Amino acid sequence: MTHARPSLRMLGLAATLLAVGTAHGATAWVADSTASRLGFTGTLAGGTFDGRFHRFEPDIVFDPADLAGSRFRVTIETGSADTQDADRDAILKGPEFFAVERWPVAVFAASRFVSLGNGRYEARGRLTLRDVTRDLAVPFGFQASTDGRTATMSGSATVRRLDFGVGQGEWRDTEWVGDEVTIRFDLLLQRK
């Protein structure tokens, strides 16, 4: 039984490696803030207009080979919303829409992922906007570079602003400001 000790030690080492491997299995990424974009498209009086959030922090741990170990936590500064018109931006950040003074951030957090095939996945998480948290499924494409050091991640999801209380009072009317808003993201990720 003298040779059993080293084997057990090897087994122990392997188990430790495996445990460490699982903990760090899904790759952690940081987004290149200049090359990444989080935008949205709303409808106004029957037409569409685009806007974007200048400041958002995607905390992303994602590995197509380890979906179970993957997770997203995207923090969005609602006060960084920009629709290229000062009047509209003021209304958007004001108490009837984002109310950025009370709720300066929106958060999307997901820890369940499914593969849709062809490099596409779906993050099933929860979006918190103002004081409302709701389930949100976000389909996206993920493409890692051949050396695995960088990756692109892009996708979109449609939310109903009124589900989150974005648009109070007269702005609950959806004839002039549509309920559905499409959120779109294009991220350039670098391995942490």
What stretch of H or E contains 124? strand 120-129
**Cβ distance to another protein smaller for residue 90 or 114:** 90
Smallest separation, CB 112 to another protein (Å): 36
**What type of residue sits at position 158?**
T
**Cβ distance to another protein smaller for residue 46 or 117:** 46
Which residues, in sequence order, are CB contacts of 33 under 8 Å at separation 6+? none
Cα gap 128→182, rounded to integer Å: 16
Residue 84 binds another protein, judged by CB under 8 A: yes
Smallest separation, CB 77 to another protein (Å): 20
The interface with another protein within residues 21-80 (CB under 8 A) comprises 43-51
Stretch that binds another protein, among 2-10, 15-23, 53-61, 84-92 (CB under 8 A): 84-92
Exposure string (b/e) for 25-36, b if CB count within 10 Å is 16 or more? ebbebbbeeeeb
**Cβ distance to another protein smaller for residue 60 or 99:** 99
Member of 87, 102, 117, 147 binding another protein (CB under 8 A):
87
Residue 147 binds another protein, judged by CB under 8 A: no
Task: Give me 153's structure tokens.
Answer: 């991640």
Question: Which residue's entry shows tokens 């495996």?
Answer: 18
Which residues, in sequence order, are CB contacts of 64 under 8 Å at separation 6+? 115, 119, 121, 142, 144
Residue 181 binds another protein, judged by CB under 8 A: no
**What type of residue sits at position 20?**
V
- List residues binding another protein (CB under 8 A): 43-51, 83-88, 90-91, 170-171, 173, 176-177
